[in-house]
Structures are given as structure tokens and as C-alpha cells.
Chain A
């Protein structure tokens, strides 16, 4: 059945975007931090958070192709729809980086050429030592390569999926399998390096080897939440007749499991640094604990305990009420997690007000508008996939 992007939904998302624009403009005007860092940090948080959801969708889609998994074939179009936000999200990120290069903001401290200049009073020996990697031309080359290749794959998978609806057969299926394997290898490296370039370099002196995994697990779980919530909503509207309780149960399991992956990595990073207590490493946590104590530990416990306690039993993962409650809570929790990755290094203090909430809602509107637009372009359930029949009969 075809999905129509109703007028009411359009208006709702447009209102959300309007709130975002008002919050952004108002925030930019009243922002008293240096170089409007607070505004740009918010743009980066939302730009990255929603971009990461679509990137998570692309990753999960590639994982399904590469492993020839059948169980989520009926949800394939939902994942594809989410992955189509990657172009808009990438554009927002480019805007933030461009503003950094033009010195409109100082989120990326290392973008200032003076820190590399031994004669300058701003000379920073530690950052200068990283110049081989952290320099603007190389940063831009990397960013363009990541975004370009990811977008190429998002486009490729979408195009092939629509083509498969017309052609049928297994030719496209096997082609996708090979391409997905190539994508996963590329993604394994670039998801890590992208998180260093875009987020870890905010705290330029600091480094952590498992930071890439930590960011990756956050993006994956955020995507699983969005998938579960959108599937429940679409099914409630009668658009996904083939989706049964087992599919929702499986997606709920992923949400549960990846919450643990995220907790595991968050804690591993924290505990190793806490235990070794080396000055160059603990700075990251000292800022967070001194300025953001309750938020910092609160986010950890929320994102860990809610899925753990509520979603542990089989029955809970089959009750949409539980899934929606937990999903909404940890969706906000993971947004706050991204907030805590970016704000301490760029703004330094806890600023939380209309701008943060408004821009979160604004980008939510933009995200949903783009995704729903993609939903309305093609049938919501694939018509020809070798595993469609098997997926329809999923029973666990």
C-alpha cells in the first residue's frame, strides 16, 4: 500500500521546523558566548545526531544485505526512508565545518592557524604535534570522502531497491551483497575516523581509542529506536500489513541489545581513564563531572537502566506501550549524550534553554519531513525480494 504524506503531517513538521528556526535566530541573537559558540554547538549537535541516525540506517541496511538476513525485509523500505535523510544531514554538517574554517565559531580550537605557529603566543605544542593529521586541507578531504562515499551508497541501495521492485530475480540481491560488504569495510574505518575528526577533535588535547566505537554504538541505538517508533506508528496507520509482532519484537531486541553495547563502551572508556588517572586523559571527564555532573551520570543511568529493567522480558518487547515509552526516553537520552560530547569542549558550561529544546524540535521536524517524503516516493513494502516470503512468515 502506498504511503501518502498527509497535509496534517506536513503542517505539523513545518511548525516544528518553524520553532527550530525561531529558536535558532533567537538563540543566535541572545547568545553571549564567544563567537556564538553556543549556537554553532547546537547546530553541530542536531546536525550530527540526526545525520547519525540516517547513517545508522545505512549501516544496518548494509548489514542486512551482507548477511543475507531475511527477517527484516518487510521493514526494508522504512530503513531506506530513514537513510535518505543523509543528504540533508550531511549538508548541515558541511555548514558547521565551513563556518569553522571561516572562523565564525571556535568549536574546533585546532582550526585556528596560530596554535601551529611557534612564534605566536597561542602556540600549542600538543596540537602542533598533531598537525600531520589535524590540518584543514586533510580534514576537508576526509570529510568530503566520508560524506561522498556514504551518500553514494545510500543512493545506490535506494536505486537498486526500487529497480528490484520492477525486475525481481536474484541478480540485484547478489550485487547488493557484494556492495554491502565493501561498504561495511569502508564504514568500519570511516565511522571511527569521522568521529575523531568531527567530535573528538573538539577536545583537541584529549584522545581515546574507543571513542569511535562509542559514537558508533550511540548512532546505532538511536537508529534502532527510530526504526521501532516509526514501524509502530506506520503499522498503527495500517501501512505495513505484513509486519507482525515478531518483527517488532526483533527490532525491540536490537534496541535492548545495542543499549547494552553503548553502556559497555561508555563505561569501558570511563573506567579505564578513571583507573589509570593520567592527567592528559582525565581532563575530558573532569570538565564533564565538574560542570555537568547530574546530567552526565543521569544520561548514563537513564540510557542503561530504562531499557534494561523495562525491556528485559519477552512480553515487554511485544507490548508497543513499553517500546514507545522506553524508546522516547532513551531517544532524548542519546540526544543528551551527543550534547555531552560536544558542549563541554565548545561552550564549557551548562546552558540549557529555549534554544536547545527549540532546535532539537526543529531538526526533528526536518528529519521527519525528509523521511516521510522518502516514504511517500515508493511502496512501503518491497514487492520483489528473494526473502520477502520468508520474512512475511517470521515467527519467534
Chain B
């Protein structure tokens, strides 16, 4: 296909990029992604990125942690080997529940935090040892890059380039 090319437009200021992104989108250009060294406020709705579902994942991991911790302690401390610690009741689970709360809390946080971090890395494919996918290394320093696939917005490469020339971009490269 002729439209296979991907355009990378480099900017050196996030405010200029945000405003240009708005005008490009209003002209019908679909921006697939923006690479930036830090989060740019307000860019998500402009380039059509949906709300993250990471929070839902975190809630589910937390729920798993809560269940596992309670079930584990019920088995260890009540069913399998009841222990008399400081004369606290150990016949029934509910009698001893205050003693289990700190561990349940910690385990919930542990699973939620680790699960969330792992999900984030896997989803972004940035686990240790995996080659970074950002187009230029300097997007981790002080430059901002817009990734545009002309085919996405049914335009030719030249049309998009022409539109990009009207913006504040410092360099446009096709790959």
C-alpha cells in the first residue's frame, strides 16, 4: 500500500503541541499517539484516548487479595491449627476478626499495588529487558513527538504533511 508510511512530527513545547493537536484533529487528522517525557494535561480527550481501566483492575486485584487473606487466615488460624494467642477467642472466625484486619489490609494493598504495576508494564509492554517502542530516545528528555498514520484519516502522506507544515512542529519525518 502507498499509505504505509508513518509520520513523526517533533515539537519542543507541550503547549504548542496541545494547541496544534486540537487544530489537526478539527481538520480531520487522526493522531494515533503522542510521546512525551511527562503527562500533558488535557491531551487525552483531544486525541481520543479513552479513560484508563487500570482502576477497575486495581479494584479486582484488591478484592482477590482481601478474599485470599481472609480465606487463608480462616484456614490457618481457625480450621487447621487454632492457636491461643494472648487468650483471644479462636473458636469462630468472627470472634477473632479484629486481629486479622491488619494482615488483610496489608495483603489487599500488596496485591492491588503489585497487580496494578504489573498490569501497567504488560499493557504498555515495558517490562524490564523489553526494547523501548518510542520512536526517538529524546521523547524521554525534552522533545514531544506526534505519531500520525495518514491511512487512519483517509489522507495521503502529502496532505498530512501540508497540514503539519502549518503547525509549530520543528521536524517531520516519515518512516
> Interface on A for B, CB 8 Å cutoff?
267, 270-271, 274-277, 312-314, 395
Contact = CB atoms under 8 A, between A and B. Distances in A.
Contacts of A271: 98-99, 101-102
A277 B86 contact: yes
A277 B55 CA distance: 40
Interface residues of B, number: 12
A270 B98 CA distance: 9
Contacts of B87: 277
Contacts of A395: 41-42
A271 B103 CA distance: 13
A274 B59 contact: no
Interface of B: 41-42, 51, 55, 59, 86-88, 98-99, 101-102
7 contacts: A267-B98, A267-B101, A271-B102, A274-B98, A275-B88, A276-B86, A395-B41
A265 to B, nearest CB: 13
A267 B100 CA distance: 12
Contact of A275 (B41, B59, B98): B98
Nearest to B51: A314
A274 B86 CA distance: 11
A274 B99 CA distance: 9
Contact of B55 (A270, A274, A314): A314
Nearest to A274: B98
Contacts of A275: 86, 88, 98-99
The 7 A-B residue pairs with the shortest CB-CB distance in the complex, in nearest-first order? A271-B98, A395-B41, A274-B98, A395-B42, A275-B99, A267-B101, A275-B86
B102 to A, nearest CB: 7
A174 B151 CA distance: 55
Given A275-B88, A395-B41, A313 B55 contact: yes
Contacts of A312: 59
Nearest to A264: B105
A61 to B, nearest CB: 26
A109 B132 CA distance: 70
A201 B99 CA distance: 28
B29 to A, nearest CB: 23
A382 B49 CA distance: 35
Which one of B51, B86, B98 has the highest number of Cβ atoms from chain A below 10 Å of its Cβ?
A: B98
